[in-house]
Structure formats: structure tokens, C-alpha cells
């Protein structure tokens, strides 16, 4: 059976690539600290020595549109192109290309369907920065096969928060039941408090530092019960109008397991939104 080598949860800041590669007067003053934190975070994945990556993210109205909106979708393709014209335009993101692990995709779909998750699938999926950003930060070589899993955190009506946690729990169980002698890292990205296209956007910090402080504590301590107790689809509008991206952090708490403290926790208070990085090494999974 496969081994879960690491569980990683992170924000996906689309400006990291440009900040980290810029030089001279274009280089922002926070770039060096950011690069140092990302380099340290990257080592937590490298140390886990993974063979395959499951990548949880959310399409930002690129391929998934309101005429056909799945709540949860698993990529099942031999290859994936990455990033779109408007991400190149706004964030300077490069075009990327990945191999897929169709065998693991099939296993997640079959077992997930049988476990009561009516997962959608895609045989031709061009992934966006929710998935490419963690590849840029954590595995810039992009040399491992992937299985992308998309969640809807973007276009209401959304599933209830507990459903994201349950999906995370299911993904963990399904990966552990995969009959392959492979080390799988499960990586997911979301947001802390965030405002996009509203009056609180692009402030000196995230729109709700108090929410961010609590959220980091819930994630770091694996306190699913408290997170579920304090977070609802309605309450997530309050810290910022794009804070439903936190649901993917809750999904990753489900993957890591209730009460499981993260082995690695870091954050970086940036303009616009707080960055946060978490790694768990499941028992027996560390390198």
C-alpha cells in the first residue's frame, strides 16, 4: 500500500514567482525574507522524498465556469498544462507542464465514489495558480506526477465546511488504500482572510489579522472541532469576501487528522494577505 509521506497546507500567493525572480529596483523589500521562508518550507517536502503529489486547489474561473460547476473534481489525465493567459498577464506566471498519475486518479475516483462522494472528473484539465503556485514554491523542478483535486470555494452555493473536512479525510484514507508502493505527498492550498474586488482589498495586512491568528492556531493544532464550531459559510464573508478559500485549509486539516499537530508551522505577514505554511509527517511517513 502507498504511504502518505507528507501532508502540506499552504497559501497560494500568485505574486511569489515575480517577487522571488525580480532583481534590482523591481525587487520588493520583502522578497528576500519571503524567499528564505519558502526555501525552508520547500525542504519539508524534499525531506519526505515523495514519488507522487496530490494537489488540492480551486479553479479561479479558468476552465470551470458557471454553466457547469462541479463542487469537487478530480483530474484524470496523463498530462496537465498549467497557468492561463490572464495569470501570465497579471502575475507574470510562466506556462508549466506536468505529468499525471492516472492510476492514482482512477483509484481516488472509484474509491471516493464508493465512499459517497459524487466526484466530478476531467480528462483534459488546464490547471491554474492554486495548483501551480505550490509547485513553484515546493517543487520547482515539477518533476513528479500529480493528481489535481479541485474544490469550489468561489461560486456559491458551496458545500458546508464539514464536507471539505470529510473530503480531506476521505482523500487520506483513499491514498493509504492505494495498492502501489509509492510515497504520496498530499498538498493543498487555500487562503486566510482575503478580500478581492472589495473595499478592504490590498491593505497593509490581510483584512482580518484576528481571524488569521485564530486560523493559524486551528490548523497548527489540528483543532477541526473548533474550526468547524467557529466557521460557517455565512461567517466566512466577514474576514474578507474571498475568505472561503479557507475551506481548502479545512480540507487539509481533514487530511492531516483531528488533533494532529503540524510538525512545521510558519507564516509571513504580507500586504494584502497573510502567508501561512504547514507540514505534517504522518506516523511512519517521514523520510
Partner 1 sequence: MSKYLLNKFLYTIDRDPELVERYREDPRGTVEWWESERANVILNVLTGEKSTWLRFNDVEREALATQDVPKLFELGAHPFLTLTLCIAMFERDYDEPLAYQHLYAQQLSHFTLPYPDIST
State the residues that interact with partner 1 by CB under 8 A: 60-62, 65-68, 84-86, 89-90, 154-157, 196-203, 237-238, 241-242, 271
Residue number, 49 or 160, with CB nearest to partner 1: 160
By beta-carbon proximity to partner 1, the closer residue of 203 and 257 is 203
* Cβ distance to partner 1 smaller for residue 103 or 201: 201
The helix or strand, by DSSP H or E, that contains position 75, with its residue range, turns out to be: strand 72-75
* Spatial distance between the Cα atoms of 44 and 266, rounded to a whole number of angstroms: 12
CB 48 within 8 A of CB 5: yes
Minimum distance from residue 103 beta carbon to partner 1 (Å): 28
Q: Name the nearest CA neighbour of 9 among 282, 197, 287, 264.
A: 264
CB 3 within 8 A of CB 284: yes
Q: In angstroms, what is the minimal distance from the CB of 202 to partner 1?
A: 4
- Kindly tell me which of 50 and 245 has the beta carbon lying closer to partner 1: 245
Q: How far apart are CA 224 and CA 154, in angstroms?
A: 22
Query: Cβ 279 to partner 1, closest distance in Å?
Result: 29
For residue 76, CA distances in Å to 7, 35, 68, 217 come to: 21, 33, 18, 34
Q: How far is the CB of 78 from partner 1 (least distance, A)?
A: 21
Please, what's the largest Cα pairwise distance for the chain? Answer: 55
- How far apart (Å, rounded) are the C-alpha atoms in residues 216 and 6? 19
Cβ nearer to partner 1, comparing 29 with 141 = 29
Nearer to partner 1, 45 or 242 (CB): 242
To partner 1, the closest distance from the beta carbon of 38 in angstroms equals 21
Report the nearest approach of partner 1 to the CB of residue 225 (Å).
Answer: 26
CA 170: distance to chain centroid?
16
Amino acid at each position: 500500500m502507498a504511504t502518505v509521506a507528507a501532508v502540506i497546507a499552504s497559501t497560494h500567493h500568485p505574486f511569489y514567482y515575480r517577487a522571488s525572480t525580480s532583481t534590482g529596483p523591481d525587487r520588493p523589500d520583502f522578497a528576500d525574507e519571503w524567499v528564505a521562508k519558502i526555501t525552508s518550507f520547500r525542504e519539508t517536502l524534499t525531506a519526505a522524498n515523495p514519488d507522487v503529489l496530490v494537489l488540492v486547489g480551486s479553479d479561479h474561473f479558468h476552465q470551470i465556469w458557471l454553466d457547469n460547476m462541479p463542487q469537487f473534481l478530480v483530474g484524470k489525465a496523463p498530462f496537465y498544462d498549467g497557468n492561463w493567459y490572464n495569470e501570465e498577464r497579471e502575475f507574470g506566471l510562466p506556462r508549466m507542464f506536468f505529468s499525471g498519475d492516472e492510476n492514482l486518479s482512477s483509484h481516488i475516483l472509484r474509491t471516493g465514489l464508493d465512499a459517497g462522494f459524487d466526484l466530478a472528473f476531467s480528462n483534459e484539465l488546464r490547471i491554474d495558480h492554486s495548483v501551480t503556485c505550490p509547485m513553484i514554491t515546493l517543487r520547482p523542478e515539477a518533476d513528479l506526477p500529480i493528481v489535481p483535486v479541485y474544490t469550489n470555494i468561489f461560486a456559491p452555493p458551496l458545500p458546508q465546511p464539514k464536507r471539505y473536512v470529510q473530503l480531506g479525510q476521505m482523500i487520506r484514507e483513499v491514498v493509504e488504500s492505494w495498492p502501489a508502493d509509492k510515497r504520496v505527498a498530499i498538498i493543498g492550498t487555500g487562503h486566510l482572510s482575503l478580500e478581492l474586488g472589495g473595499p478592504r482589498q490590498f491593505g497593509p495586512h490581510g483584512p482580518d489579522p484576528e481571524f488569521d491568528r485564530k486560523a493559524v492556531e486551528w490548523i497548527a493544532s489540528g483543532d477541526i472541532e473548533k474550526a468547524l464550531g467557529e466557521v460557517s459559510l455565512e461567517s466566512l464573508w466577514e474576514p474578507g469576501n474571498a475568505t472561503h478559500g479557507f475551506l481548502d485549509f479545512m480540507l487539509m486539516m481533514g487530511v492531516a487528522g483531528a488533533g494532529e499537530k503540524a510538525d512545521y508551522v510558519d507564516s509571513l505577514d504580507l500586504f494584502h494577505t497573510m502567508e501561512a505554511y504547514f507540514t505534517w509527517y504522518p506516523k511512519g511517513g517521514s523520510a
